[in-house]
Structure 1
Amino acid sequence: MTHKLYYDSAYTREWHTRITGKMDKEDGLYVTLAETAFYPHGGGQPCDLGQIGGVDVLDVISEGDEVWHKVERALEQEEVDCRIDWERRFDHMQHHTGQHLLSAVTLKLADAMTLSFHLGTDYATIDVDSAELGTEQIAAIELEANTQIYRNARIAASWVTAEEAARLPLVKQPSVTENIRIVEMEGVEYNACGGTHVASTGEIGIIKILKTERVKGSTRIYFKCGFRALEEFGAVQRVTQAISAKLKTGRDELLERLDKLEAEQKQLQAEISAVKAANDTYFAQELLAQRQGLIIAQVFEDKSVKDMQSLATKLTAEHEGIVLFVSRSEAKVVLAQKGQPHWACGAFFKGNLGAYQGKGGGSDSIAQAGFPSVDEALAFFEFTRDQLGHH
Structure 2
Amino acid sequence: MSPHPLGRPDYARLLESARRTLERRNAELGGRATVPAPTDAECAAVSGLLGSDHLPGAKSIVVSLDRLDTSVRRATGQGLIEILETIGPPLRRPRDEEGERRRLREEILAPARDSPLNDADWYRTWLERISGNGTVTKLVNRGDTDRLCRAVRILEVVDARTDTAPPLPLPSLAATATGDTKALEHRTPLATLVLSALAERTGLPRTDTAEATRALWEAHGVVGDDLASRVLVLGLPAEGAGLGEWLTDAAARGVPFQVTLHQLVTLPITVTAPVVFVCENPAVLRRAADGLGAACAPLLCTEGWPSAAFHRLAAAIRAGGGRLRYHGDFDAAGIAMARYAIDRHGASPWRMSAADYTAHVDDAFPALTGAGPTPWDPELARAMTRHGRAVHEESVDDDLLRDLVRDPAPALPAPEDAT
Q: TM-score normalised by the shorter chain: which range applies?
A: under 0.3
**What TM-score results when the alignment is normalised by the length of structure 1?**
0.25
Higher strand share: 1
Larger helix share, 1 or 2 = 2
TM-score by length of 2: 0.23
